[in-house]
Chain A
Amino acid sequence: MRVKHLVLSAALAAAVGVPAMATSAPAQEGIYVPLFTYRTGPFAGSGIPIADGMRDYLNMLNERDGGINGVKLIIEECETGYDTKKGVECYEAVKGKNPVMVNPYSTGITLQVIPKAAVDKIPVLSMAYGLSASADGTVFPWIFNPPATYWDGASVFIKHAAQVEGGLDKLKGKKIGLVHLDAPYGKEPIPLLEALAKEYGFELKLYPVPAADMQNQSSLWLGVRRDRPDWIYLQGWGAMNPTAVKEAAKINFPMNRLVGVWWAGGDDDARPAGDGGKGYSTLDFHAVGTDFPVIQDILKHVVDKGMSQVASKDKVGENLYNRGVYNSMLIAEAIRNAQQITGKKVVNGEDTRRGLEALNITEARLKEMGAEGFAAPVKVSCTDHNGHHKVFVAEWDGKKWVKKSDWMEPMRDKVRPLIEAAAKDYAEKNTGWPKRTEACDKSS
């Protein structure tokens, strides 16, 4: 009896003791890049390939070049499980270790981190997710979301639909459905689609999927069968995507009219539907496959050495894996810029913010990076933290994603005013939102 109580009280004592001593990590020589990842939980299916891609590219830089300009990158993953609570905890845990930026990889966590970024002087790179309005650099100097916002994505989807239908005027009277996760992430495209519906005269139908029912969508697709929309845009994530694609195949929805946002374009999203998934399309802003020097380098320096966590080698080059690689390319380029601008070797969050603002990846630079044809050039400026870059439509051929359309320009003229209005609205609602005090660098 005595021993038992001793053990119990020791456990309790430990529970109170450890957090107090933790987190005061030693300041190592290097650039600390925390990665918020989720390899557990309901969204792990999408989260694992991205986490692998992000990690492997940065590791590759360490292995091949010894880091960036000779400074090693210290990579640390923090598991969020796509849970806002744990994400905030991760943020608090990495805050004190002088991170160059955070990649929240969840719209929910991004929303929590946005107000803190300016206070803690840590830039947030929410690559093509997060708050669309944060593309406005004058209101959100610390938040970056290149290469495109959800609103850009939705506008490209409409453009694509119009192209297939034969012109924007042909959209009149059509029904366009939006199957979306019932969370901030899923709701993001609604304002733009509503605005476009008014303009082009199509009818917008919303099909929200509650997070708890992600894998149980049969009733929703019954509704889809009843309404018979001409096009469906899928803004889903995690287990929701494969379920939606399978259900769409089951009700014989014409698959080439089901278009997913870039986050609904995992290989494992389309594969479970089998042959029925052929023709399912997704938006994308980088290529798939391993036929790029950069991916080959990852295979050579990281995967073959057993330093990667990928389950098997053929997962390298999948769509979401390459998404992770692309994300890390932006991180690395921002750090490189920051080093160039400040002349320092070991940069901090403030320097990287300037580096991000000077982000300008040209064709020539892409070639140097070994990523020619992998992605379109990206340029971010002081006022435009997104760039609204081109995206394309890829189609699932039953085995892999195939580029189907050309690179398409988003409807910048429709998106930008909405972004500026939303940013202003955000700043107004959050009384005391700080005015931008950070000066713009000349190079940007």
Chain B
Amino acid sequence: MFYREAGQFKTTYEADQAIFPIRQDRIGIGVILAIAFIVIPLFGNDFLINAVMIPFLIFSLAAIGLNLLTGYTGLLSLGTGAFMGVGAYACYKLTSAFPDVNILICILGGGFVAAAVGIVFGLPSLRIKGFYLAVATLAAQFFLDWCFIRVPWLVNYNASGAIEVPLRTLFGVPITGPTAAPATRYLLVLSLVVVMTWMASNLVHGRIGRMWMAVRDMDIAAELIGIRLLPTKLTAFAVSSFYCGVAGAMMVFLWYGGAEAEVFSINLSFTVLFMVIIGGLGSLIGSYFGAALIFILPIVLRLAPTTLGVSINAATIEHLTFMIVGALIILFLIVEPHGLARLWQIGKQKLRVWPFPY
């Protein structure tokens, strides 16, 4: 009833090809952004900001990164955790070598180093495909993981082998380290994630994104219409790793405030991959849905009993959470194998014709 485009006429090609052609969508995005930028920092408590929103945004960014590679280009990767780690360690090395350089530049720098590493490990993708490529990226995961533990130079010869995040300021306001206010860190993460999502959206709607999708759908056909496979696949690896690297650097600097190599283990790769699959392959909004389902849902389940006043043992809650999340993942995949993004699309379509479906 409220969600339909009747009466919204497009008079230019630009308007017709806009990412959000329907006015209600644009209003919706505006409202979401307003809530994210204004309401949450003003009214959210520390727990909501620190333990829910910041990690959610960071995971969303990592999922977008992997989605560009797996969802848009069709290259399966199990090295996400390692690429995130490269971003984090590179950022740490950069900021300890150049303490006066703005930490934002270091975070983005970490992303570029991750992109370079991603290109190196993406080289085999020209020859190997599908599951075999997954195994090749798995090798990247193990090798980089090994480096994080074994190369003391990466952690500045710290005895405990962990990254410790120093205090860094932006315009005189502390943004990393323990004294940084949660809201500041949240706003920084949010801005970076929003800008990078916008960039990703432009990328996938443009020439490069179309090349990626052509390669995904059929690489021989893509080659025949003049798309050079190697550069295409490598740009996918580079951009994807860049996103993952930035997410990793933000994870350590703006969320954890310190990390050990264990954080970037294969489990992280799987977590992000599940987010992408459940959220929807080849969908940016799906990355957010996936991150919400996999990361926020367990927190909600853990909190629900105490909020409702039921007392259950902490361990039992944990076991229940595992079971419920597992069941929900299966349920969602049975209901819609193409992920939550597809569900969202179906829902919107139904709303458009409601209440007179045809």
How many whole Å from A173's CB to the nearest CB in chain B?
A: 26
Given A89-B51, A93-B51 in contact, is the A115-B257 Cβ separation under 8 Å? yes
Q: Interface of chain B, helix or strand or loop or mixed?
A: helix
Interface of B with A (CB < 8 Å)?
44-48, 50-52, 55, 96, 99, 149, 156, 158-162, 164-167, 174, 177-179, 255-263, 265-266, 289, 292-293, 296-297, 299-300, 302-304, 306-307, 313-315, 317-319, 322, 328, 332, 335, 343, 346-347, 350
Chain A contact residue count (CB 8 A cutoff): 62
Q: A15-B297, A88-B51 are in contact. List 16 more A-B contacts (CB 8 A).
A: A5-B343, A8-B343, A16-B296, A19-B299, A20-B44, A23-B48, A37-B314, A39-B313, A77-B315, A92-B47, A93-B51, A111-B258, A131-B160, A187-B160, A211-B262, A429-B156
Min distance, Cβ A295 to any Cβ of chain B, angstroms:
23
Interface contact B166-A429, CB-CB below 8 Å? yes
B45 to chain A, nearest CB (A): 6
Cβ contact within 8 Å between A111 and B48? no
Q: How far apart are the CA atoms of A208 and B346 in the complex, in Å?
A: 52
Instruction: Determine whether A164 belongs to the interface, using a CB cutoff of 8 Å to chain B.
Output: no
CB-defined contacts of B318 to chain A, threshold 8 Å: 39-40, 79, 81
Contact of A431 with B by CB under 8 A: yes
**In this assembly, does A359 line the interface, its C-beta being within 8 Å of a C-beta of chain B?**
no
**CA gap between A295 and B319 in the complex, in Å:** 30
Chain A residues in 8 Å Cβ range of B99? 431
> 6 A-B contacts, Cβ less than 8 Å apart?
A12-B292, A18-B303, A92-B46, A112-B256, A187-B159, A309-B313
Residue positions of A touching B, CB distance < 8 A: 2, 4-5, 8-9, 11-12, 14-16, 18-25, 37, 39-40, 76-79, 81, 84-85, 88-89, 92-93, 95-96, 107-108, 111-112, 115-116, 118-119, 131, 182-184, 187-188, 190-191, 208, 210-212, 309, 422, 426, 429-433
On whether the beta carbons of B313 and A184 are closer than 8 Å, the reply is no
Contact across chains for B51 and A5 when beta carbons are under 8 A apart: no
Q: Which residues of B contact A212 (CB under 8 A)?
A: 265-266
In the docked arrangement, what's the CA distance between A172 and B245, Å?
48
Asked if A422 and B159 sit within 8 Å, CB to CB, the answer is: yes
Residues of A within 8 A of B266 (CB): 212
Q: How many whole Å from A81's CB to the nearest CB in chain B?
A: 7
Q: How far is the CA of A15 from the CA of B288 in the complex (A)?
A: 13
CB distance from A99 to the nearest CB of B (A): 13
Chain B residues near A25 (CB-CB < 8 A): 306
Asked whether A184 lies within 8 Å of B162 as measured between CB atoms, the reply is yes
